Structure 1
């Protein structure tokens, strides 16, 4: 320590200050340091702290250097100098000193600085004491705090890791995480669960990867895990010798591993054991009271997570079983087409919802395609979906036109007295002609992928969702006609495939079009790509996908048939019927007479709608025999037979049957049970099918 002055300076009259006896009783020494002379007087207790005898100290601070290591003395001098310069009244410092036997111990000094009227430092009176026990206590307290923090951190980190675990696989992954094992100081874990009165190992880490013969064992077998579950009491095994003594049945397993000690923790949930967790260590481990308490607490936390995961998996299995029971068990083979379907449940909730698809064989060789979405993601949504699917299938199979099918399904949903509404799209497909009649109830538009890979959204006019249309009295559903070329693919889906967070619906359609365009040509592979996109996005909504590709090179067989209802006062229905007739004629290789057939059929339909009160039913079919003929039939509910009459020069009526007679090769009228049928036939030599026009364009300008 620095020499502050010469001994020749006169010392204060009260120097050195008398030590307080109470300080000595507390083993606290005192010193009085005159800064002008540089002398430092120390009482006997202070000398004892420095392990010096009175004859070994001459009031010179430099003498203390034999006890204070150089770096400690330098740090102490800097503390004193800084206090003198800063004008403060006191300072304190811990420093190490060397005892007579060479050992170091911690010492604490506290100095009080006396100054003159001008603030100049004159004297430092202070205390000095042995701080070894104090710092040891502080260090121990700090270690206890650190240990508690570490233990709390283990519990918190384990709880955090398990918080997001939904399945048992998630729980096992969290437990086997290397960082989690490191925090526990363990090398591995093993998890056994009760299943049917036996214990099944659901997780065995690398150290126990060889255990296969004991994956299932009885509760009465002499294994520590079985005993832990049976007695619902933790087991702590601190050495391999203890393992071999208490559980000789596991000795063979231990010799093939590096496990020496273990903690077996019962997993108890809702008051009953559900399994046990083994925390395994490579070295012999002393499980003190705190370690045991920590592990038992962790076992309780893990048990709740395991139970929650088991409940989730049971609910998931039940939900998936319910969902699969509601969806079609198989998709019927559709002549002239390839079908691919997929369903992906939501990643949130109960993994059950109201999305569905269906493929329905219809009268006349047609095929019904359905895609729908019931509001909600729960068992109620699935139940509504199941009932609605059955009813819609029944209405369609009866041969009702698409608009009627949708209107009746909406009325049925309203009668269910449910607050759910349903979006749905229904398509009546005639694959011999490629003509699709589509009705949309608040659902997404369909998309079509052409044979060259381009993908287009097909706008379809729509009505209100099922259920709401009845409530608002809007049961009219417009029918759109779309033609599907051979090799083209119809894409129907629910909104979970299109809607993406942060994007509007148009962006979603563009993204879907890109996926379809860049996707594989094989239909099943394409369905997998679309499903994988849903999985990748971890979608929060159910997704149903129905793809139908019209086969290339599939020409209609002789006896092709088309049937269409035309309601009175519905111009769109009449226009759609014309479109269907022309498309069928072209598809059946009779395009050279398409204008004649369409005109004759149009006149027959208009005649039926004009002179009767009900709807007309148009049937178009190919007849084979000595010559190939195409027959057009128009049925109505009136028994009055039509009369052929001549129209005047300025007349606008009376030309219908005259045109039919002039255009057709043969025609006639047949009485039916509730009305009549007007028919005409055209001789049509077989020829190649013609491609249909682009979407939205109808041949003949009609």
Structure 2
């Protein structure tokens, strides 16, 4: 494409100024790396001006005006896309004004450069494309921009993955709060602080915070819905709010005194919406950030949706867990009966790995002739039926014990009772009949861990020959007769006045990859290192505290401790 300085034909007056302006326009396009082209669709002939030829690294004399020659200059892996794009714009009537495309050109020295075409489609009266007229320009910074965009996309994906990973193991609300305030989330997000606020009875309550000014944490733990704060505004509008330091100073006078002495520069205040319900508001604080790009706003809004789902699941988990624990504890003894001459302490801890209830139980029962019955058991399963069966079995055991049956007969009757319930559930159990005055004791166990006893010489596990689990159906195992007739061997021992007896379920002994033997050794260490028999409650807390830090505790724990408070006659005389 060239511009001539010759006068117009047909006797028209010359226009030197117009010709000069057109020449300057052509030079301006050339100086800015912009070239023009015209493509005749029918003949497939294409004409490029010098600037457009330079973009394709072609000299005017070497271009044959064939579009196939230009295609050969395009990087091979991008040619199919360019052809498809051109075919689309030619048949699409919407592309009659302007259509663009990015592609890479391979130069004669082997290097590549990005280029961009912008064209208009000229059509005849029937809508058939006749010519394509447009411009070409080099895009030296396009690769850098694409690299930046790709880096941003990778960062956003990393933030989403880090948040999802941090929240994936969260069960209850405390787990979610721990994850939110951890570096695993704050680091990728680039934040210096975070807080989570909920609405309780029309009052704002902050559940967790990190990186906030100490005075803010102290003074604004609770608030009102009409407070002059971004959090209150988001609770009312249920829309995200992105504020800067200047916004706080100008619009939130209540909050500004806490912010002005800090390095805070911006905050994203995000509603936690799950199933069209607002469960809380998440505030993320930044230092050094002056504002939020559209991409950052979209990312943080998407993150708030992820947090909202986890938070809602956590709320539901805690609610169901509280109900399950309440039901379980309602089936345990409301209190430990006072036994003359004995000190007794009991504890129950639900599993942390799920919210379902189990069948663990303990009981202390007065027996004829001043004796006392101590029992710990575990019904198979973790559901409502397991808890219901546990309640029935505990009641039956207490009734049989009160009737004065021997430990062997007690276990046999309990096994038959459980089998007759037709639940297909088994149960394990350990039962001790103890005389507080003398310390003489008898113990039987049905598939349950043996008791431990702490003496002046240290802690050891009693060696108690056990019988089968309670409720074992006929024929399992085949070598045993009817379970109702199977004897449960009695082991007799004596509990001294300064000795402590421990009964527990296997949840205290087995966890993660720890086997039963290692768990029993740990219990012996805990007993030896704990308070003496004079304070069994402290000793019980000392033992159950050992499981507080376990992650993913998969089973419930029932614990029963007993010691004699009446000294032997010989000791009393001494």
Question: TM-score scaled by structure 1?
Answer: 0.59
After alignment, is 278-287 or 501-510 more displaced? 501-510
Task: Give the superposition deviation at 1:339.
Answer: 2.0
Equivalence map 1:207-356=2 (5 Å): 207-211=212-216, 212-237=218-243, 239-283=244-288, 285-350=290-355, 352-356=357-361
Task: Give the superposition deviation at 1:265.
Answer: 1.2
Residue in structure 1 matched with residue 182 of structure 2 by the alignment: 177
Indicate which of 487, 490, 511 corresponds to 1:477.
487
Q: 1:155 to 1:373 in 2, by over 3 A?
A: same
The question of whether the paired residues in 1 share the 8 Å contact of 2:114 and 2:139 is answered with: no
Indicate which of 488, 494, 500 corresponds to 1:489.
500
Equivalence map 1:94-493=2 (5 Å): 110-111=108-109, 133-178=138-183, 180-211=185-216, 212-237=218-243, 239-283=244-288, 285-350=290-355, 352-453=357-458, 455-468=459-472, 473-475=482-484, 476-478=486-488, 479-493=490-504
Q: 1:519 to 1:23 in 2, by over 3 A?
A: farther
Q: Which structure's CA Rg is the greater one? A: 1
Q: 1:134 to 1:331 in 2, by over 3 A?
A: same
The question of whether the paired residues in 1 share the 8 Å contact of 2:332 and 2:362 is answered with: yes
Task: Give the superposition deviation at 1:293.
Answer: 1.1
Q: 1:267 to 1:416 in 2, by over 3 A?
A: same
Q: Does 1:521 align with 2:532?
A: yes
The question of whether the paired residues in 2 share the 8 Å contact of 1:355 and 1:374 is answered with: yes
After alignment, is 129-138 or 433-442 more displaced? 129-138
The question of whether the paired residues in 2 share the 8 Å contact of 1:165 and 1:309 is answered with: yes
The question of whether the paired residues in 2 share the 8 Å contact of 1:441 and 1:477 is answered with: no
The CA deviation string for residues 254-298 of structure 1, in whole angstroms up to 9 with x for no partner, is: 335443322221111121111211122234632222121111111
The question of whether the paired residues in 1 share the 8 Å contact of 2:56 and 2:107 is answered with: no
Q: Does 1:550 align with 2:564?
A: yes
- What is the distance in 1 between the residues matched to 2:56 and 2:211? 64
Task: Give the superposition deviation at 1:304.
Answer: 0.6
Query: SS state of the match for residue 264, structure 2?
Result: coil
Query: SS state of the match for residue 483, structure 2?
Result: coil
Task: Give the superposition deviation at 1:306.
Answer: 0.9
5+ residue gaps, structure 1, are 1-20, 32-41, 47-106, 113-125, 556-586, 590-686, 690-702
- What is the distance in 2 between the residues matched to 1:408 and 1:128? 89
Query: SS state of the match for residue 210, structure 1?
Result: helix
- What is the distance in 1 between the residues matched to 2:432 and 2:473? 19
Task: Give the superposition deviation at 1:144.
Answer: 0.6
Task: Give the superposition deviation at 1:128.
Answer: 11
Equivalence map 1:628-639=2 (5 Å): none
The question of whether the paired residues in 1 share the 8 Å contact of 2:166 and 2:184 is answered with: no
Q: 1:508 to 1:289 in 2, by over 3 A?
A: closer
Residue in structure 2 matched with residue 60 of structure 1 by the alignment: none
Query: SS state of the match for residue 439, structure 1?
Result: strand
Q: 1:181 to 1:458 in 2, by over 3 A?
A: closer
Q: 1:180 to 1:490 in 2, by over 3 A?
A: closer
Query: SS state of the match for residue 160, structure 1?
Result: helix
- What is the distance in 1 between the residues matched to 2:113 and 2:561? 90
- What is the distance in 2 between the residues matched to 1:207 and 1:128? 49
Residue in structure 2 matched with residue 576 of structure 1 by the alignment: none
After alignment, is 363-372 or 493-502 more displaced? 493-502
The CA deviation string for residues 30-50 of structure 1, in whole angstroms up to 9 with x for no partner, is: 99xxxxxxxxxx97999xxxx
Residue in structure 2 matched with residue 558 of structure 1 by the alignment: none
5+ residue gaps, structure 2, are 1-46, 63-104, 117-136, 477-481
Query: SS state of the match for residue 153, structure 1?
Result: helix
The question of whether the paired residues in 2 share the 8 Å contact of 1:27 and 1:129 is answered with: no
- What is the distance in 2 between the residues matched to 1:258 and 1:369? 62
The question of whether the paired residues in 1 share the 8 Å contact of 2:193 and 2:212 is answered with: yes
Q: Which gives a bigger RCO, structure 1 or 2 (Cα 8 Å, sep 6+)?
A: 2
- What is the distance in 2 between the residues matched to 1:129 and 1:531? 68
The question of whether the paired residues in 1 share the 8 Å contact of 2:439 and 2:496 is answered with: yes
Q: 1:130 to 1:159 in 2, by over 3 A?
A: closer
- What is the distance in 2 between the residues matched to 1:29 and 1:456? 89
- What is the distance in 1 between the residues matched to 2:56 and 2:187? 50
The CA RMSD over aligned residues, in Å, is: 3.5
Query: SS state of the match for residue 563, structure 2?
Result: strand
Task: Give the superposition deviation at 1:366.
Answer: 0.7
